[in-house]
A and B are shown apart, each in its own frame.
Chain A
Amino acid sequence: MAFLNVLGDLGGGFATAVQPFNILMLLVGVLLGLIVGVLPGLGGTSAVAILLPVTVVIARTSPTSAVILLAGVYWGALFGGVITSILFNIPGEPWSVVLLFDGFPLAKQRGKPGVALASSFFASFVGAFFATVLFTFFARAIAEWALSFGPPELFAVFVMSFATLVGLGAESPAKAVAMIGLGLLLAAIGFDTITGQPRLTFGQIGLLSGVGFVPVTIGLFGIGEILASAEESGIGFMERLKAQVGFRDIVETLGELRKRIWMVISTGVIGFFFGVLPGHGATAGSFLGYGLARSYFSKDKSNFGKGEISGIMAPQAAADSAAVGSLVPMISLGVPGSPTSAVIMAGLFIWGLTPGPLLFTEQHDFVWGLIASIYLGHLATFLICLSAVPLLASIMRVPYAILTPFIVLISIIGSYSLNNSMLDVFITILFGLVGYWLRKMKYPLAPLVVAIVLGDSTERTFRQSLIASGGDPRIFVGTALSAVLLGLAIVLLLVPAFRTLRVRGKPVDALKEARTSEAAVAID
């Protein structure tokens, strides 16, 4: 019965998603995502953040159209980053870094750029499809379960989210904790929501309304990335290969996919559940997929690094699935699963919606329209990619001297236009410089972004719990659920210590490999 209910809701979602304006928003989003995915200087997260002010106008008539636009950018960027990795040996996005290992060698050394591209597109599509099916059936169940949560349980969920970022995510747990602390502090600036007293404003009237999430994110990801890109283009090189996916390439790829279909589905499903964990977006998923392909799904490991198709398909399937999975906690619990979903979640707040379990009942059409659009978005992206690779690859030829100032100006407009505030512009530039430096120092940005988004909610649930208990902290372990979640958080916080002890006993190669996959999470 529940199964039929979900199918009915999904049918309603498709009816919403296929409305002409929503289809237009989806296509615009996907195309923008593909473009930013191809451009090394601009990522999916920053593009979504820059577009937020524009979505305010769209959301006045339909929040569903606005979220479809932003989600479309996410899906487009997931596919777009692949093209530059395979054809130019330059990752357009952090999650396509892993494709440098086998994608570029298959294209260059083995002379099969079309097969390399088609392999990634097909794997992305298949992985994302299975992930979206799981999303369809799991998200509501989680949301219905979460409706029974009170402030102590919600506080425990938030603490576990932070613990996940520290325990499973970062190369350096101490850096992740420092970034979480910074994010919580930034979220606390301005009026205290319970007593109304100003905090951390240092007498500055401009800070009374707090530090906006959007200017900070545009700075960290938009300006920070363009500065990093400027540095790389100063020292970089570019390999150019023939950019086309022909009919023969598709036929050959389908044959290869058939041989690896269980690997693609399995890495897709695993990637989905990995993406559900807070802070683990597509980048971490892509490295996880690569590791699984090499360790468990391939008998002959000698071809990895030389153009092995499994080394393209598995990470792509896992990356796309993880990206889809990262939306599940955002929609059902109000906890973002990745930096991009954190920005989308900020959009929901700006449009007057509250992400979390009530969204399924209060904004039924919105949620199911979004879910249906994930199916359509991936289909549209897949078809556009197969047919328009040469056009997309040509975007890389826009000169640096035009592209770079253009991105800076668009970032500034994005941060200014939300509140018509010059302070937001200064914050964007400041965090652009800070974000660039922190990347160089290998500080993970995901914990900072997630902490800014969740900071207010974490404090609110913490204080509500204490008010309800009359100041008795035992309320946090008063129910089995909150006690288990806090226990899990403690275990997760101890993971880095166990990992250090375990890795110490391993040979140098294994240590390097472990660090590579951890670094991926740090980027994410």
Chain B
Amino acid sequence: MRLCQAATGLAFMGLAALAMFDSRAGALVDRSGGEPGGIGPGFYPFWSAALMFVAAGVVTYESQARGHNEGGIVFESRDAALAVIKLAVPMIAMTVALVWLGFYIVSGAFMGLFARWIGRYNWLWVVVLAVAMPLAIYLTFETGFRVTLPKSVFYEKGLLPI
């Protein structure tokens, strides 16, 4: 946990340093009268990032120097870590696939995958869920709320209606 705390603190510091570098041009008060109120567009992000950098530095220091061991271990068990991975990996894959396969194909596949892999439903239920979910979403959002959701490359080529 101490290592994770330090890594998280360092990640914050890295982000803050990046933002400070990007807005370094406006970091100081402009006395020449070129900027309204003496403050340019970079002033606020630079000092917000500086605040974040210092605070994250304190967090990193505390996690190491004082021997903080908040919460003990990162995951309670191997099963707990696996449960998160089993959700996170398909979720990320689904998000990437959305660009090409569109929302309806991906949502059906995602529901079906979970029903079969995690729920261990028989194939009939898997197919029912994989079809029912996109259909319900289509009727609710596209028909009801007039929200157009992303379609697949097959739709763009006229091969599929979704």
Bind each other? yes
A→B interface (CB under 8 Å): 53-54, 57, 172, 174-175, 177-178, 180-182, 184-185, 188, 192, 194-195, 197, 199-200, 202, 223, 226-227, 230-235, 399-402, 404-406, 408-409, 412-413, 416-417, 420, 422, 425-426, 429, 432-433, 436-438, 440-443, 459, 462-471
- Are B48 and A429 neighbours in the complex by a CB distance under 8 Å? no
Asked if B91 CB lies within 8 Å of chain A CBs, one says yes
Asked if B99 CB lies within 8 Å of chain A CBs, one says yes
Smallest CB separation, A425 vs chain B (Å): 6
Q: How far is the CA of A468 from the CA of B37 in the complex (A)?
A: 7
Choose among B36, B75, B133 the residue that contacts A231 (Cβ–Cβ < 8 A): B75
A466-B38 contact, Cβ under 8 Å, with A234-B77, A401-B119? yes
- Are B36 and A467 neighbours in the complex by a CB distance under 8 Å? yes
Kindly list chain A residues whose C-beta atoms are within 8 Å of the C-beta of B22: 199-200, 202
- Are A182 and B115 neighbours in the complex by a CB distance under 8 Å? no
Asked if B147 CB lies within 8 Å of chain A CBs, one says yes
A199-B45 contact, Cβ under 8 Å, with A174-B58, A441-B5, A463-B37? yes
Kindly list chain A residues whose C-beta atoms are within 8 Å of the C-beta of B77: 234-235
Smallest CB separation, A474 vs chain B (Å): 13
- Are B83 and A425 neighbours in the complex by a CB distance under 8 Å? no
Q: How far is the CA of A454 from the CA of B49 in the complex (A)?
A: 16
- Are B15 and A467 neighbours in the complex by a CB distance under 8 Å? no
Kindly list chain A residues whose C-beta atoms are within 8 Å of the C-beta of B48: 181, 184-185, 188
Q: Which residue of A lies closest to B53 (CB)?
A: A181
B→A interface (CB under 8 Å): 4-5, 8-9, 12, 15-16, 19, 22-23, 29, 31, 35-42, 44-45, 48-49, 51-56, 58-59, 62, 70-71, 74-77, 79-84, 86-88, 91-92, 94-95, 98-99, 103, 107, 110-111, 113-115, 117-121, 129, 133, 137, 141, 145-150
Q: Is the interface of A mostly helix, strand, loop or mixed?
A: helix
A463-B39 contact, Cβ under 8 Å, with A202-B22, A235-B77? yes
Q: How far is the CA of A438 from the CA of B117 in the complex (A)?
A: 28
Q: How far is the CA of A197 from the CA of B5 in the complex (A)?
A: 36
Q: Which 7 A-B pairs have the closest CB atoms?
A: A181-B52, A401-B119, A234-B83, A466-B37, A471-B38, A177-B55, A192-B41
Q: Is the interface of B mostly helix, strand, loop or mixed?
A: helix
Kindly list chain A residues whose C-beta atoms are within 8 Å of the C-beta of B117: 401
Smallest CB separation, B100 vs chain A (Å): 11
Beyond known contacts A402-B111, A405-B114: 8 more, CB 8 A cutoff:
A174-B59, A226-B87, A231-B81, A235-B77, A401-B114, A420-B148, A441-B5, A441-B8
- Are A429 and B70 neighbours in the complex by a CB distance under 8 Å? no
- List the count of A-B residue pairs having beta carbons below 8 Å apart: 194
Q: Which residue of B lies closest to A459 (CB)?
A: B44
Q: How far is the CA of A301 from the CA of B103 in the complex (A)?
A: 56
Kindly list chain A residues whose C-beta atoms are within 8 Å of the C-beta of B38: 466, 471
Kindly list chain B residues whose C-beta atoms are within 8 Å of the C-beta of A234: 77, 79-80, 82-84
Smallest CB separation, A49 vs chain B (Å): 16
Smallest CB separation, B135 vs chain A (Å): 13
Q: Give 18 CB contacts A-B under 8 Å.
A: A178-B9, A181-B52, A185-B52, A194-B36, A195-B40, A199-B42, A234-B77, A400-B119, A401-B114, A401-B120, A401-B121, A406-B111, A408-B91, A409-B110, A409-B137, A425-B98, A438-B8, A463-B44
- Are A429 and B91 neighbours in the complex by a CB distance under 8 Å? yes
Choose among B41, B55, B71 the residue that contacts A442 (Cβ–Cβ < 8 A): B71
Smallest CB separation, A403 vs chain B (Å): 9
Kindly list chain A residues whose C-beta atoms are within 8 Å of the C-beta of B121: 401
- Are B4 and A197 neighbours in the complex by a CB distance under 8 Å? no
Q: How far is the CA of A437 from the CA of B88 in the complex (A)?
A: 12
Choose among B9, B19, B31, B36 the residue that contacts A463 (Cβ–Cβ < 8 A): B36
Choose among A53, A202, A399, A406 the residue that contacts B119 (Cβ–Cβ < 8 A): A399
Choose among B37, B54, B71, B141 the residue that contacts A471 (Cβ–Cβ < 8 A): B37
Choose among A199, A402, A417, A433 the residue that contacts B114 (Cβ–Cβ < 8 A): A402
Smallest CB separation, B137 vs chain A (Å): 7
- Are B86 and A230 neighbours in the complex by a CB distance under 8 Å? yes
- Are A177 and B39 neighbours in the complex by a CB distance under 8 Å? no
Smallest CB separation, B114 vs chain A (Å): 4
